Amino acid sequence: MPVSKRLSLVLFALVLFSAAAAWATPVEVVQPLEQGLSPMQLRAKARETAFAQAVFQEALGLLPANPGEAQQVKLHEYLQAHTLQYVTGYQEVAANQEPEALRLTLNVEVNQRALRELLRSCGAAFTAGRPLAFDLRLLSPLTAVESARLEDLAVMGGLVRTSGVLPEFTLERGAGNLWKGTIRSVSAQISDQAADPAALWLTLWGRYFAGHSSAASAAGKVLRVSGWFSPDGVAEFDRVLRGIGGVQDVQMLDMELLSSGVAATWRLTVLDSAALDARLKEYLPSRGLTQTLTGD
């Protein structure tokens, strides 16, 4: 091979290596010395800690807003248990042995696509900073372990169990030791089966949020109103909205429980913008409610 061609290939490889390093997440961990651990074992443990830290940092960076404390804790716990699914490579930058600890610096390459898919399927990509109320109906008993896993996934996904609201998640045992799950919302119903309730949970919520995202971007208007103290006010306003002349195809997309109060989002077709605007100005300010209206 000619020298010039070999040189070009080397330079190309260096460019690729530099780009990969730039995309990697830099992490520094301080791993305390532990009795009984060899230097190699200590370094391996520090590396595992760095991987988990990098994946969690990357996940937070992919979210549209900062998750609440409980959601952040459960997300961290889940990713810590599944770290290696999201690490595609690493480069050791520095390793310094201190009197009582090992200080290790790594550039960790994280599979952003897989991580983004997890955040979407569990719901965190849509609920960070704005939890979603849902109802849960268990038609068959769960074991303590299964129940705890679903509770953790709900918190991680920013889902707050609230009786009598939509979307509603129904879970029951089906044929052949399979679990059947169904999510029912105002505009759709989706079902599936799986042997593991947790896997079924992620599958169905992933499909729900994918559909919810599509609905919110569909033609028409999307109205978001916030500031209620309880879900009762949302139900009352839903009736008011459906009674406005010049407004049709009203569908409530979701209800969220925020620190500032309850918020809800509707999709609707507006035939008379002036009529809708006048009714909103009459109804909302006197009740301390605020709104945003987006769409075509």
pLDDT digits (tens, 9 = 90+) for 104-159: 999 999 998 899 899 999 999 888 888 999 999 999 999 999 999 999 999 999 99
- Give the separation between CA 196 and CA 171, rounded to whole angstroms: 11
Q: Which stretch of DSSP H or E encloses residue 166?
A: none
- Closest alpha carbon to 201 in 142, 254, 257: 142
- Closest alpha carbon to 267 in 253, 247, 284, 281: 253
Give the least confident one: 44-48, 90-94, 243-247.
243-247
Work out whether strand 159-161 and strand 132-138 pair parallel, antiparallel, or are unpaired: parallel
pLDDT in tens, 200-225: 999 999 999 887 665 555 447 899 99
- Closest alpha carbon to 55 in 25, 77, 91, 30: 25
**259, 160 contact by CB (below 8 A):** no
What band does 61 get if pLDDT is binned at 50, 70 and 90?
confident
Quick check: helix, strand or coil at residue 97? Answer: strand
Query: Stretch 48-54: mean pLDDT, rounded?
Result: 96
- Give the separation between CA 270 and CA 247, rounded to whole angstroms: 5
Confidence check: pLDDT of 20 > 60: no
What band does 12 get if pLDDT is binned at 50, 70 and 90?
very low
Q: Which two tokens stand for residue 52?
A: 């988990």
What global pTM score does this model have? 0.69
Quick check: helix, strand or coil at residue 290? Answer: strand
Report the amino acid identity of residue 77: E
What band does 22 get if pLDDT is binned at 50, 70 and 90?
very low
Residue with tokens 């569908």: 251
- Give the separation between CA 264 and CA 130, rounded to whole angstroms: 10
Question: Within 10 A of 240 (CB to CB), how many other CB atoms are there?
Answer: 12
Q: Which residue intervals of 34-134 are DSSP H helices?
A: 39-62, 69-81, 112-122, 124-127
Query: Stretch 229-249: mean pLDDT, rounded?
Result: 84
The DSSP secondary-structure symbol of 288 reads T
Quick check: helix, strand or coil at residue 175? Answer: helix
**210, 203 contact by CB (below 8 A):** no
pLDDT attached to residue 5:
34
Backbone angles phi, psi at 263, to 5 degrees: -130, 155
